[in-house]
Amino acid sequence: MYGGIELGGTKIICAVGTGPAEVQAETRFPTTTPGEALTRMLAFFQPYRLAAIGIGSFGPISLHRDAPDYGSITTTPKPGWAHTDILGPIGRTLNVPVGFDTDVNAAALGEWRWGAGQGLNTFIYLTIGTGVGGGGISNGRLMHGLLHPEMGHIRLPRDQEIDPFVGLCPYHGDCLEGLASGPAMRARWGVSAESLPADHPAWQLEARYLALACVSFMCILSPQRIILGGGVMHQRHLFPLIQREVQTLLNGYIQAPTVLQDIDSYVVPPALGNQVGILGAFALAEQAALEQQALQQ
């Protein structure tokens, strides 16, 4: 049995289970202070005998295992949470191996284990909701490097005549997140994304920005698939718009049958739906348990 924590900036979900077929207990509560959150997380898991715990966390976080702050949230603007050690207190108190990664890398790992990323070596998971974030698997391992990906902050072309909205990223204005997140849609159109009808021009514009992002992913990483999740992607009519726009933008340059003829199996929704976050945390837990087993042998 694994424990999973989906540590978001606004809410926290904890669960125990083994995979999609078995999510035994679950609790959710708002992300208040680190002290209160840790107390509630530990109280939830204490009754269970767990093999490991996985944590998919909002970021930025420290992922270098030899860094003194490994397992911490680092420079977040969220009050009280900057430089908060998460992995340490949970691992010590519950005395189990802990897997720790970004929320989006956790989701990617969940899709790799049980969902739309199964059997792939290289793919990207992008979530479009309150913010825009991305993670993935490259050469069979979660994407880490200097830090971790921050895919929401790539810059995109914006035609000022078609879209005079200057974007709302506090750092970059009209980066991907600044142009295409749920709050950006609300700010641009004056109503929430969910309330816009499917034939509203908002969706074609949204599809254009997300397709431009997909094209950057494809040209830079050459992923075998792109999974698009998050609240905005609940609008399933976005998928065909994005798929067509990716083909238009590439203009035949990437000669792969899956892009040219089968793009609806290339740009896809998460197979795990709303469970992707917590199942990703289970997958991180499983990885941590396997790593500890390997070390003990």
> Restricting to residues 88-127, which ones interact with a second copy according to CB under 8 A?
121-122
Which of 21, 47, 65, 139 is close enough to bind a second copy by CB under 8 A?
Answer: 139
Closest C-alpha among 244, 246, 245 to residue 217? 246
> Restricting to residues 142-171, which ones interact with a second copy according to CB under 8 A?
143-158, 171
Q: Which helix (H) or strand (E) holds 291?
A: helix 276-296
Q: Is 148 exposed, middle or buried (0-12, 13-18, 19+ CB in 10 A)?
A: buried
d(C-alpha 269, C-alpha 12), whole Å = 23
Q: What one-character-per-residue DSSP string does 157-195 give?
A: ---TTT------BTTTBSBHHHHHSHHHHHHHHSS-GGG
> Restricting to residues 200-259, which ones interact with a second copy according to CB under 8 A?
212, 215-224, 249-256, 258-259
Which of 77, 140, 164, 190 is close enough to bind a second copy by CB under 8 A?
Answer: 140
Looking at the Cβ atoms of 37 and 250, the one nearer to a second copy is 250
Q: What one-character-per-residue DSSP string does 195-243 give?
A: GS-TTSHHHHHHHHHHHHHHHHHHHHH--S-EEEESGGGG-TTHHHHHH
Cβ 192 to a second copy shortest distance, Å:
26
Size of the site for a second copy (CB under 8 A): 50
Cβ 225 to a second copy shortest distance, Å:
8
> Restricting to residues 261-290, which ones interact with a second copy according to CB under 8 A?
none
d(C-alpha 165, C-alpha 184), whole Å = 9
Looking at the Cβ atoms of 94 and 116, the one nearer to a second copy is 116
The contact pattern for a second copy, residues 11-50, with x = CB under 8 A and - = no contact, is ----------------------------------------
Cβ 65 to a second copy shortest distance, Å:
12
Are the beta carbons of 203 and 188 closer than 8 angstroms? no
Cβ 136 to a second copy shortest distance, Å:
9
Looking at the Cβ atoms of 121 and 261, the one nearer to a second copy is 121
What residues line the site for a second copy (CB under 8 A)? 60, 74-75, 121-122, 134, 138-141, 143-158, 171-172, 174, 212, 215-224, 249-256, 258-259
